[in-house]
Amino acid sequence: MEKKIYIETYGCQMNVVDSEVIFAIMAKEGYSRTESMDEADIILANTCSVRDNAEQRIWGRIELFHKQKEKRPGVIVGIVGCMAERLKDSLTDTGKVDLVAGPDSYRSIPQLVRNITPDTPQINVLLSHEETYADIVPVRTDKNGVSAFISIMRGCNNVCSYCVVPFTRGAERSRDPGTILEEARDVFSKGYKEVTLLGQNVDSYLWKCDARTVTFADLLESVAEISPELRVRFATNHPKDISDDLIEAMARHDNICKHIHLPVQSGSNRLLEKMRRRYTREWYLERVRKIREVLPGCGITTDVIAGFCSETEEDHQDTLSLFREVGFDYAYMFNYSERPGTLAARKYPDDVPLEVKTRRLNEIITLQNELSLRSNQAEIGKTYTVLVEGPSKKNPEELCGRTGSNKMCVFPDKVHKAGEYVDVTVTSCTSATLICRLA
């Protein structure tokens, strides 16, 4: 009987790629992917440790997975990814987890599975300075066959004081550009019309071999040159590293989407220093100015943390004023969540009361909703080429797709299908969506 593997993926887009890598590794062992936990021989959760609530959710899922073991003895339950790396033995100590594998040990999963007995759960959380899974062709898990994620690097060297990623994903290492281009050509040949190049900090991508040096700007242009019909996106940028070369490379290619995700985290120089972000408010605003000068209409989105250690009302107002000055199209906004093992957890008290964090976060959200609405209202009457992703979630009679600046469009259309380019004109909007008609 065919063996099946089920994976639930949590957290960032990079975890989506990692799940696709695991599916590919296990396919060579005779396991096929299933979307039904009830028929799976192996049940995995691919986890994120960036925020505490992400981890707390996984503990609840472990209980649910264990019920499958009770119903079907022999089912293997595993936790992989960042939470596996961070918590290690405490996961198997529950008696409900058979396998724990960190982000650099996915190749070992088949052997770990073979070694599992009722009394011997298996763990491999060794970090690597070389592993990039460059030779593995991921099993694509997207349903529309339009957009594919491609990992270009792993790990992070920045060690921001609040961030657990360097401890769970290890040191930064870039992937051979030849394998990246090969993967991009492969997905395009299979009908995909969009690729997103992923890294914790894509701006620090750097490949050196003999006399050859490839920067992220070089890599991005090479991928864009595969075909003008292939849209290229990327994430995430770091304000201290985003270069003029990258911005100018984007301007040279129409198929490089004009959207930059540029996490700011705080508008206060005092807190930026405490966060170890290694740029100032002034530097950040200068980068935004450069982007808008070279790439008019480029979408700019961000991340922000409310209530970081010792944040004052003045610091908070600095963040609000930076949001007003930039006018972000969208933002991912969170309360500060202390993560064990980070510099902030060791050195700085988490001293902003929850009610103050919540109030400040709500003020940021309210402001960003206003900014998003204002940004979208400015699009009314304009015509854009969008790549159809499929039916709208709210109305199956409508299709949806994104502009190059990453704004979601919905429009009535019974002719086109996912993977086609269509021109639409914006007729109205909400703070989250452009309402359109076919041009």
Contacts of 388 (CB under 8 A, 6+ apart): 146, 399, 400, 401, 413, 416, 417, 418, 419, 420, 421, 422
Please identify, in words, the CATH class of the domain defined by 383-438: mainly beta
Amino acid at 438: L
| 53 confidence band (pLDDT: 50, 70, 90) | confident
Q: Which CATH class is domain 3-124?
A: alpha beta
pTM above threshold 0.85: yes
Specify the pLDDT at position 144.
85
% of the chain exceeding 70 in pLDDT = 100
Peptide bond into 236 cis (omega under 30): yes
Query: Helices H, strands E: what count in the chain?
Result: 14, 21
Q: Which of 79, 69, 29 is nearest to 49 (CA)?
A: 79
* Residue 98 pLDDT grade (very low, low, confident, very high; cuts 50, 70, 90): very high
The ranges of the chain annotated as CATH 3.30.750.210 are 142-257
Q: Which fold has domain 142-257?
A: Transcription Regulator spoIIAA (3.30.750)
* Residue 28 in this model has a pLDDT that exceeds 80: yes
pLDDT band for position 210 (cuts 50, 70, 90): confident
Give the whole-angstrom CA distance, residue 168 versus residue 90.
15
* Crossing angle between the packed helical segments 354-377 and 313-326, to the nearest 10 degrees: 10
Give start-end residues of each CATH 3.40.50.12160 domain in the chain: 3-124
Question: Average pLDDT in the 229-248 region?
Answer: 98
| Residue range(s) occupied by CATH 3.30.750.200 in the chain | 261-278+285-378
316, 360 contact by CB (below 8 A): yes
Residue 47, burial from CB neighbour count under 10 angstroms (0-12, 13-18, 19+): buried
Give the model's pLDDT for residue 431.
Answer: 97
Strand 212-215 versus strand 173-174 pairing type: unpaired
Quote the pLDDT of residue 2: 84
pLDDT, residue 235, reads 96
Phi and psi torsions of 243, nearest 5°:
-105, 160
Is residue 91 within 8 A of residue 122, CB to CB? The reply is no
Average pLDDT, the chain: 96
Alpha-carbon torsion 28, 34, 40, 46, what sign? positive
User: pLDDT tens digit string along 125-183?
Assistant: 999 999 999 999 999 998 889 999 999 999 999 999 999 999 999 999 999 999 999 99
Give the fold, CATH level 3, of 261-278+285-378: Transcription Regulator spoIIAA (3.30.750)
What is the per-residue pLDDT for 424? 98
pLDDT of residue 52: 87
Q: Angle 233-256-301 (CA atoms, 0-180°, nearest 5)?
A: 50
Helix (H, G, I), strand (E, B) or coil at 61: helix
